[in-house]
Amino acid sequence: MAKPKAHDPRELERRIGVLEDELKQRDARIRELRADLNKAEALISEEREHVEDANALIDSWIEAFDMVQGDEGWSFNEWVDDCVLFKDKYLELLKDWNRLVPNYNAAVQPKPVGRPLAANEAQQRQVLKLHKRGMSLRKIAAEVQIPVNTVRTIVAKANGADRITKKRWQKLHPGEKWEERSYVPIGNEKLLKRIELDRKAETAWRARKRTINSLPKRISETVTKGRELVQAAKGLR
């Protein structure tokens, strides 16, 4: 079969049609690329504005926390570091207090030693009342119907001269010489209470402290990177 001649109108028409189709496809592709480029430019512009807003926000944080800039970037002012330090000191004092509580309570209200008194509270009050009137210990024992030794112990405790009171006083005043003195009976002292730590809050504080310690470096890096990106974005236009 013979090939059609180059000047064959049908062949020329076919080739023109092919070229027109290719031109249409090229134009459509150019429109797509131009649309994508416009979207990219709009996105770059929006992101540049966002970075600038973020940098402005960080500048506000820097001003709010009175941060100072040194050779290695931004750092907190002394008062912020002091706040963190005082928080740590508070936690240490709290632990010291809780360690003190059981020792103090044991000193001011020690557990009874020896045999319990052979007299109830009513009998003890009666003993002290009769002793105040000047009645002898033997007569008090006969009146209240308790042993003389029990009467002697009750009176000694009221005067702060019994064995338990002396032992307690020596714990509270180590190294000092005992002197008989007016005494508040055992049981009238106010006991101390532990201050319970909020474990959840303490764990959260440790996490915040790590964030606080890392924040100056992160701010310096973020501000520097943000400014570089803004400059790069401006150079694309």
Q: What integer pLDDT is reported at residue 1 of this predicted model?
A: 47
pLDDT, position 186 = 46
pLDDT in tens, 176-225: 665 544 344 444 557 888 888 788 877 887 787 787 777 777 777 777 77
CB under 8 Å to 72, separation ≥6 — which residues? 220
> Is the per-residue pLDDT at 115 higher than 50?
yes
For 82-93, the pLDDT digits (tens) are 877 888 888 889
- The pLDDT of residue 42 is 79
CA-to-CA dists, residue 97 to 166, 188, 195, 215, angstroms = 25, 21, 8, 32
Q: Does residue 7 share a domain with residue 94?
A: yes
Has residue 104 been placed in a domain?
no
Percent residues over pLDDT 70 in the chain? 78
Per the structure, how many domains does the chain have?
Answer: 2
**CA distances from residue 150 to 92, 127, 128, 135, 184 in whole angstroms, order as listed:** 46, 10, 12, 15, 19
Which residue is listed with tokens 């400014």? 227
In whole angstroms, give the CA distance from residue 74 to residue 61.
11
Q: Based on the domain organization, do 142 and 177 belong to the same domain?
A: yes
* 71 and 21 within one domain: yes
User: 133 versus 209: which is more confidently predicted?
Assistant: 133
Tell me: do 161 and 79 sit in the same domain: no
Compute the distance between CA of residue 166 and CA of residue 180 in angstroms, rounded to an integer: 9
